[in-house]
Structure 1
Amino acid sequence: MGFFDWLFGTPKPATPNVQSILPDIAKNEIMNGRLPHINPDKLFLKRGEICHYADKAMLEVTKTKKTINSRHVGHSVPGLLKGNRWNMGRTVSSIDEAVEVNEYKGILYITNKRIVFNSKGMGFDKQFQYLSAFNPYANGIELQYGATIYRLFVPDGNVVYRVIQMLQ
């Protein structure tokens, strides 16, 4: 940490930039209020399931690690009787928290029944009906399933927002 970092604070990392593989025709259909039918090559669809969105995405997972550092400070003196010792001291403990952010690249699929993130590191397959809430951004979206929040960076968050809106 340098002097200027201490003086001005550490700069916040830029949000990741994700390149799109969604065809412009499909994007225009979504923005005009119609859901396109996309034939995904790496996703197995269930009976009656139609894929409406398939594009690159990046999942951001934040973990907080707690470490407890303890140190015993004290001394020992001889007692009054033979074999006895008086021990005096205390234990000093400190708790450090470190935030670790991991990013996993993959492909986000949205069908009429589920939302699937296909990735080598960490993927998920969630039923659309169990989606509790979603929060769109210009370059991403947060999906909440119960107490779990998935933060996804996509090329255009408005397109994903429109697809989820039309599927509700």
Structure 2
Amino acid sequence: MGLFDALFGNRNQIPTVTTILPDAARQEIIAGRLPILNTDKLFLKRGEKIHFIDKAVNLEEKTVKQYRHYGHSSPGLFEGTRWSSGRGKTVEYTELVQHRGILYITNQRIVFQATKWGFDKTYRYLTAITPYSNACEMQFGNKSYCMIVADGSVVNQVLQLIKQRRQIP
């Protein structure tokens, strides 16, 4: 059972992601070594190396408010007028909005490149990560990002390896 199945209970809303991470890089990560990958899409800082590149979907839980009218409406006495009776109320519900993009993990930061809801965060703000079979949830302070990926355990493994490396002086 994945993260969003437990939260929302509807498997049809959860997208599947096909991986673009090379299999050799995936095997290196599983073996406990960080691969060094290349791309021309991300501007790297001095000394920065990319260890993970893959497709991802950032799921945003959005609250939608709608006004609904209950009652009767009919033409008025004069042309262009209407008469209505009844009541209305505001109805609130939540929906999942999908933002597709590419997730990069470097030795200095985590970058989600997307048209909307992209982010660029350094490790000092990473509070927690929760891996799932098809996703990972990353928390930065009071903001959480629910990322659908091909394999959440690989993302977690990369972050754990980088954390171990950063603690060594």
Question: For this structure pair, what is the TM-score category when the shorter chain's length is used for normalisation?
Answer: 0.7 to 0.9
Q: 1:149 aligns with which of 144, 152, 157?
A: 144
Measured on the aligned residues, the alpha-carbon RMSD in Å equals: 2.1
The alpha carbon displacement at 1:70 in A equals 9.8
The alpha carbon displacement at 1:161 in A equals 0.7
The alpha carbon displacement at 1:127 in A equals 0.8
Q: Distance in 2 between matches of 1:93 and 1:164?
A: 50
1:113, 1:129 within 8 Å by CA — same for their partners in 2? no
Q: Distance in 1 between matches of 2:93 and 2:126?
A: 30
Matched residue of 2:51: which SS?
A: strand
Matched residue of 1:41: which SS?
A: coil
1:141, 1:154 within 8 Å by CA — same for their partners in 2? yes
The alpha carbon displacement at 1:15 in A equals 2.4
2:13, 2:96 within 8 Å by CA — same for their partners in 1? no
Matched residue of 2:58: which SS?
A: strand
Q: 1:107 aligns with which of 98, 102, 111?
A: 102
Task: State the identity %.
Answer: 46
TM-score (norm 2): 0.75
Q: Deviations over 1:80-125 (max 9, x none)?
A: xxxxxxxxxxxx8844212121101110000011000001122100
The alpha carbon displacement at 1:67 in A equals 5.0
Q: Residue 124 in 1 paired to residue 119 in 2?
A: yes
Other-structure match for 1:76: none
Q: Distance in 1 between matches of 2:56 and 2:10?
A: 24
Hey, which of these two has a bigger chunk of helix by percent?
A: 2
1:49, 1:112 within 8 Å by CA — same for their partners in 2? yes
Q: Distance in 2 between matches of 1:11 and 1:29?
A: 34
Other-structure match for 1:33: 32
Q: Which runs of 4 or more aligned residues in structure 1 lie more than 6 Å from their structure 2 counterparts after TM superposition?
A: 68-71
TM-score (norm 1): 0.75
1:23–1:148: structure 2 CA closer, same or farther, 3 Å change rule?
A: same
Q: Distance in 2 between matches of 1:163 and 1:106?
A: 19
Other-structure match for 1:5: none
Other-structure match for 1:60: 59
Q: Distance in 2 between matches of 1:69 and 1:11?
A: 25
Identify which range, 12-21 or 25-34, moves more after superposition: 12-21
Tell me the matched-pair count: 139
Other-structure match for 2:74: none
Q: Partner amino acid for 2:130?
A: N
Q: Distance in 2 between matches of 1:62 and 1:145?
A: 17
Q: Partner amino acid for 1:114?
A: R
Matched residue of 2:48: which SS?
A: coil
Q: Deviations over 1:20-64 (max 9, x none)?
A: 111110000000000000112200010111110001111101111
